[in-house]
Amino acid sequence: MAETVGFVSTRFAGNDGVSLESAKWAEVLWDFGHVSYWYGGKLDRHPDVSMCVPEAFFGHPENEYINRRIWGRRHRSAHVNSRIRELAEYLKFSLYKFSEKFTLSFMVIENALTIPMHVPFGIALTEFLHETGMPSVIHHHDFYWERDRFSVNAVSDLLDMAFPPRLAEMQHVVINQSAREQLAWRKGVPATLVPNVLNFENPPLPPDSYCADVREQIGLSEDDVMILQPTRVIPRKGIEHAIDLVEQLGDPRYKLVISHEAGDEGMEYAGVVKELASKANVDMKIVSTRIGEFRHLNSKGQKVYTLWDLYQHADLVTYPSLYEGFGNAFLEAIYFKVPLLVNRYSIFTRDIEPKGFSVMVMNGIITRKVVEETRRVLENKQYKKKMVEHNYSLARRFYSYKVLHNNLEVLIDNVKGV
């Protein structure tokens, strides 16, 4: 029987993990005949199937006002408490409207009850679910206890209540084994492990005419080797290691291409990275102005490409992250059959590496062995082909839409049976 599913988060827009994975879930849910609707403070979903409530966005001025007064301190004032309460009540009312407008059968809450970027929204969702008994799947991507910036706070009572809440009607989902164990230990809540996925049953189409000139347009010559860092320029991405790798490779043909700009948490780091590249004589290109969420022409009449266009032309992907909740760039590189260098961040070490993927692995530093293995991959086409085909086959087994389909089938049965 077809169900109406309400996806709820602070934002469904862009290429962040929550927006990308929720779209994949909705695509697979459609296979069951389930129709998805969207609620968020910032949306790129079609207006006919969504409800945009700007106050639900974590970047809304009212929420930013509250955040400045609850993080990094131990006490909150009565005035701040009142502002939290008022915003929560407004958002709860909007959730009732959303549920009624689309006659929802159940909800999928995407990270809004996991990381407290928007505490009033977490309260609103918790109270709405308490009051309605709405069956729900709570999809957790990264918990507040995994982020140092939330460790000192004036809302410990609210975090305990709403991030996440504990209700019988809820099915909790996590994306890695560590999160599953921490949730059980801290909250006494069991969870289903559903990894991030890609549609490995359907390989990407060959590069088309639109992106045929992407290398030229971002400043690469025909003989250059594109080493792609497909991330934002923020400290936890470990981009200094990618610079070190290119420096040690010692070939001017090797160019480091970074797909995204710094954003609001890495401006100082971006300056450091640029200085490091300059001192190492590494040709580093940050091409964020030419990469967008969709293809179009910018105000100068220049082509804007997508991240997937870059993957189509990359020779190597660097992924030296210090921490990731899962690692979408890892799957994307494998999907486009690009070899990659990976730092052994904790989730990779525990959840991904044991599967047997063939990648260049570093343990916090770029060693001579890592450099030589990378050079071999870049210069030996047969070796490279064997590596990427092996990785694709493994990913199809462990991280495909079929895996997601099987997990969602069980979750839906559980939700409907509550």
Between CA 150 and CA 137 the distance in angstroms is 24
**Same domain for 233 and 145:** no
Q: Confidence class of residue 15 from pLDDT cuts 50, 70 and 90?
A: confident
Reply yes or no on whether the pLDDT at 418 is more than 70.
Answer: no
411 and 387, same structural domain?
Answer: no
Residues 223 and 182 in one domain: no
- Six token digits for residue 172: 């909790």
Structural domain contains residue 294: yes
Mind listing the pLDDT tens digit for each residue in 284-297?
999 999 999 889 99
Instruction: Give the pLDDT band of residue 1 (cuts 50, 70, 90).
Output: low
Q: Are residues 13 and 116 in the same domain?
A: yes
Same domain, 294 and 325: yes
The band of 266, judged by pLDDT with boundaries at 50, 70 and 90, is: low
Residue 23 domain-assigned?
A: yes
Given a cut of 60, whether residue 323 has pLDDT beyond it is: yes
Q: Which of 131-145, 255-269, 365-379, 385-399 has the lowest mean pLDDT?
A: 255-269
CATH number at residue 127: 3.40.50.2000
Say if residue 76 is in the same domain as residue 149. yes
Is residue 204 situated within a structural domain? no
Contact 114, 189 (CB under 8 A): no
The tens digit of pLDDT for each residue in 243-264 reads 999 999 999 999 999 999 876 5
Q: Which residue has the tokens 């590189």?
A: 333
Same domain, 323 and 262: yes
- Please report whether residue 114 resides in a domain: yes
Give tens-digit pLDDT for 127-169: 999 999 999 999 999 999 998 899 999 999 999 999 999 988 8
C-alpha dihedral sign at 90, 113, 49, 32: negative
Is 58 contained in some domain?
Answer: yes
Residue 291 lies in domain: 214-397
Q: How many domains, the chain? A: 2
- Report yes or no on 279 lying in a domain: yes
Domain-located, residue 207: no
What pLDDT is attached to residue 263?
65
- Mean pLDDT across the chain, nearest whole number? 95
CA 243 to chain centre: 23
The two tokens of residue 190 are 């069991």
Q: Do both 368 and 390 map to the same domain?
A: yes
* pLDDT, average across residues 180-195: 95
Quickly state the pLDDT bin for 320 (edges 50, 70, 90). very high
Contact 43, 125 (CB under 8 A): no
Determine the pLDDT at residue 16.
83
User: What is the Cα–Cα distance from 300 to 297, expressed in whole angstroms?
Assistant: 8
Examine the domain organization and report whether 330 and 282 are in the same domain.
Answer: yes
Q: Are residues 111 and 254 in the same domain?
A: no
Q: Which amino acid is at 391?
A: N
Asked whether residue 209 is assigned to any structural domain, the reply reads no
Q: How do residues 194-207 score in pLDDT, each as one tens digit? A: 999 999 999 999 99
109 and 234 belong to one structural domain: no
| pLDDT(214) > 90 | yes
User: Residue 168: what pLDDT?
Assistant: 85
Residue with the larger pLDDT of the pair 15 and 364: 364
pLDDT of residue 416: 75
Angle made by CA atoms 94, 99, 104, in degrees to the nearest 5: 160
If asked whether residues 232 and 324 sit together in one domain, one would say yes
Q: Tell me, what's the pLDDT at 354?
A: 96
- Say yes or no to pLDDT of 112 above 80: yes
